């Protein structure tokens, strides 16, 4: 969701998303809640963070609560590292609507935080 939101906020940016334990596919709940904002992430695919370890980045932003402690060391040049943590909605339980509410809450928190990030960093 963070990748889709940041691409939406700054379509001129090159944005990549990766995880230390990526799932096989993007959660259908994530796809659905992003569609509510007219952001299509249905063609995104989970990627392991090892894919990007030697690349240079202006920013490496960790977003899952556990990612800050589990994020691998990037060998490429990284100008800025930032952690903006959120609970992982993938583990939400309950009815379909209850799970959707968890995904919406995390989505909205990500949106607000990344809007603030873009403004604060003046990028």
Which long-range contacts link 76-79 to residues 24+ away (Cβ below 8 Å)? 76/52
pLDDT, tens only, 56-74: 999 988 887 665 566 666 7
What are the distances in angstroms from CA 41 to CA 35, 66, 75, 77, 79? 8, 23, 28, 28, 27
Q: Which two tokens stand for residue 15?
A: 């944005």
What pLDDT, on a 0 to 100 scale, did the predictor assign at position 115? 96
CA 44 to chain centre: 11
pLDDT, tens only, 2-58: 999 999 999 999 999 988 888 899 999 999 999 999 999 999 999 998 899 889 999
pLDDT, tens only, 74-106: 778 989 988 888 988 988 999 999 999 999 999
**Fold assignment, 2-118:** Rossmann fold (3.40.50)
Question: Strands, E, within 20-67: which ranges?
Answer: 57-64
The partner residues of 3 in beta bridges, in order of sequence, read none
Give the domain ranges of the chain.
2-118
What pLDDT, on a 0 to 100 scale, did the predictor assign at position 63? 86
What pLDDT, on a 0 to 100 scale, did the predictor assign at position 111? 97
What pLDDT, on a 0 to 100 scale, did the predictor assign at position 71? 65
């Amino acid at each position: 969701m963070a990748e889709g939101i940041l691409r939406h906020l700054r379509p001129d940016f090159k944005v990549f998303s990766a995880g230390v334990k990526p799932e096989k596919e993007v959660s259908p709940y994530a796809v659905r809640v992003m569609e509510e904002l007219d952001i299509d992430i249905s063609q995104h695919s989970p990627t392991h963070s090892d894919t990007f370890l030697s690349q240079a980045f202006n920013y490496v932003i960790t977003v899952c609560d556990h990612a800050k402690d589990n994020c691998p060391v990037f060998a490429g040049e990284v100008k800025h590292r930032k952690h903006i943590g959120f609970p992982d909605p993938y583990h939400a339980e309950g009815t379909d609507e209850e799970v959707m509410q968890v995904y919406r809450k995390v989505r909205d928190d990500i949106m607000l935080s990344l809007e603030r990030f873009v403004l604060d960093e003046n990028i």
